[in-house]
Chain A
Amino acid sequence: MASPEDLTGAPASLYAARKGVYPKKVDGFFRRLKWAIMAVTLAIYYGTPWIRWDRGPYAPDQAVLVDLAHRRFYMFQIEIWPHEFYYVAGLLIMAGIGLFLVTSAVGRAWCGYACPQTVWTDLFQHVDRLIDGDRNAQLRLANGPWSFEKLWKRGLKYLVYLTVAFWTGGAWIMYFADAPTLTHDFWTGQAAPIAYGTVAVLAATTFVLGGFMREQVCIYMCPWPRIQTAMMDEKSLLVTYKDWRGEPRGSVKKAAAHPGAFGDCVDCNQCVAVCPTGIDIREGPQIGCITCALCIDACDGVMSQIGRPRGLIDYCTLDDAASEKAGGAAQPVRNTLMRPRTLIYLGVWSAIGAAMLFSLGQRTRLDLAVQHERSPLYVQLSDGQIRNTYTLKLRNMEARPRRVAVTVDGLPGAVLWSETGSRGAAGERIDVPLAPDSVTRVKLFVAAPGGGPARQDFTIAARALDGDPGGDAETIQFDQSEAGQ
């Protein structure tokens, strides 16, 4: 740290180069948990587009598909149309509240386990270990001069990076088109240029962010850590070095020579060596820590080797840290997970989820929107009737052709016909055929005896005729002049 006096001299540069991070291999509960989460998340990411889902002949059979060209979003049984975008908004709100929930309970657990940056960095670091060897070998190679070994190892490593990066970008585009077809088109050069562009951009970002920038993204670029600190409180579980138990540090030898003079930490630096962001947790909570708990695994390993109790570094709340420091006991983890704040978040989160599920179950797959022709608002017909004109937008959201009946309600003596029918054949209902999965526009003429009120509310309803009771109705105005002639 430069002192103020240092600054009066001419500093060569205010820029500090990155110190390489070569995390050491570690084993333990949290490391295995991290492997498991990595396996699941990567499997979901790479595998999802290949799941098939039968939706009948008129819709794609990909389980999860963002069909930008036809403006549809398919997710298993659920199909979202653009006007139902509020479901996506609802999901985003749930994701936000879910983040509140997780963060208030276990701090930056998202960062440590599930964040794509963490998952891919972890993957790339594993590639490093496979090719260069563990921490010491990596360090030796990095600091050593260019040799044949260094050359081929670097070459091979970047090749593996690139392959992983390419697959990452390649999996992304599969969500936007039929995966098998797109794969075929991609390799035969027939895919859309945007597909190649997307793969190139995502491969480049994966290569750079996962292969080289790594922890710098988490510490300097990512806004989450700044936001997440605002969601944590004294009761959130954080990775904590129990300095009241560990300090002062001293090796096993020194501790044996001076019993009682030293704490439990043997200053072996294992916690620093395994840290994927290269920080020293013994300096206290800090923004560089993604709470991945690998240091817990490392220190626990050391503690069991030397026969001291585990948990010198542990998940611990600030409140517990204070009470443990004062000699008290920590409260059970259950209490920190189940407290008003987390329960309220959980309640809101599940309420939104339940409401969305309910409305998904209730929503109709036949949607009617009515627009009243404004110019002219009404037309006087030669037999004295008044005619209003409406444009109906009928959305058939099912993947099969349907027929619907359009009727009017609450307008005595009204008859209707459409631009394809004639007034001579006008009646109380018209039938409209709807193509599968499409919007049909119908110009609807409604005529009613004149002399009624100047403005009257009535209902136009569309009902499916194929046994499905689903339908939709909209209340709209019928206008005529009061003065009549």
Chain B
Amino acid sequence: MKSGKALTTAMAIAVGLTTVLAGCSSTEGNSAASGTGGSGGGSGSSAGSKVTIKMMHLWPAGSSATQNKIVGDIIKDYQTSHPNVTIEQEILENEQYKNKMKVLSTSNALPDVGMTWAAGYMEPYVKGDMFAPVDDLLQGELKDKFVKGTTEAYAFGGKTYALPVELNIVPVYYNKAIFAKYNLQPPKTYEEFKTIVKTLASNGVTPIALGNKDRWTGSLWYMYLADRIGGPDALKKAIDRSGSFNDPSLIRAAQEITGLVDMNAFNKGFNGLSNDEGKTEFMNSKAAMYMMGTWELPNYTTNKDVPQSFKDQIGFFKFPTVDGGKGNVDSWVGGPGVGLFVANNSKVKDEAKKFVSFFVQKWGELAISEAGVIPATKVDTSKVKLPQLYIDLLNELNKSSNLTLFADVQMKPASAEVHLNMIQALFGKAATPEEFAKKHEESLAKEAGK
């Protein structure tokens, strides 16, 4: 609306690009943190030539304070033991991070080390030869260090292209105080769960906090229902095309979603609220339940900004089983979160790989003791004192019978986009369960045909 001539204004792509670049300008340099490494002035006494590794990650000090600090600590550590290496951080928020990855890869200028999501998300980058294989690391000092099943999500054609740092499962957190007030117990079956929802809703308490503007948040609910009704393979098969979204169990899962919406299970206006806005309802004790990945654990255990009285009120339960459904209560939605990649065209590939190897090991130790998040590497928990909530979840993870990787990560980008849109439509009752299935089928078939 503001600028002038039609020609200049209509430079369409530029609109998108400017927004992204504007959003990206908040680069937080952390170079030369350890005096010896950086500022290429005086002739160093350090061994080897000076190396600068650029690293991009998505844990800003604001929203992921603990993770952010750990990354800083690891880098400081590494720079102290490798005085010739300087690591420059660039930190972006989740969505901006994805956008910047896209822009950088278009100009073939990815950072030396960066973060990626698994499976479908990273496929275009792997196909475009943007990421370097890191199998040599896995054969070497990282051999057998990872929890089984985590590195596989980053492998294509027998080669692994990134190393996972997180392992997440998605429990339903609940507010014990609210449950106690209405005499409720954590549910074992879906029927019990629906009774809880009804009780809370009829008493004017929001049963479930949800911010579905981000769409993947609603997808978690669908995935659990699909798993509990259709078993661990139904959704997986529908996505890899050995099955179909027209599977009756998958359609029933979609029906259950509309059922929950009809029962006023979610907070008002959820489709227009971001995950953070939805979460606020739970953090303010206005909603009784909140389903989210274990990356939220610090908020209920170690985060100093959250009052202890609130933390004490929070428990979790496993998504209940559905009567007649094939799913097991120990089957989880989750999987490895982000992983570290090394750019294929990096000028300092070897040094970058060494750093990645160091990072994942160090992260494994610190993530548990300081951040309270679950790392993808195996850890000895006997040495550290951990919050009970965390230990309980870790034990659940060890018992898990299946991990279903997030649907939008399983799918390739175009279908993932359709899936997320349809989730929002389903929750908003703009699409019937049958339409929901049909749109998925169309998109997946089209992508498989390409």
- A and B from one complex: no
Which B residues are closer than 8 A to A by beta carbons? none
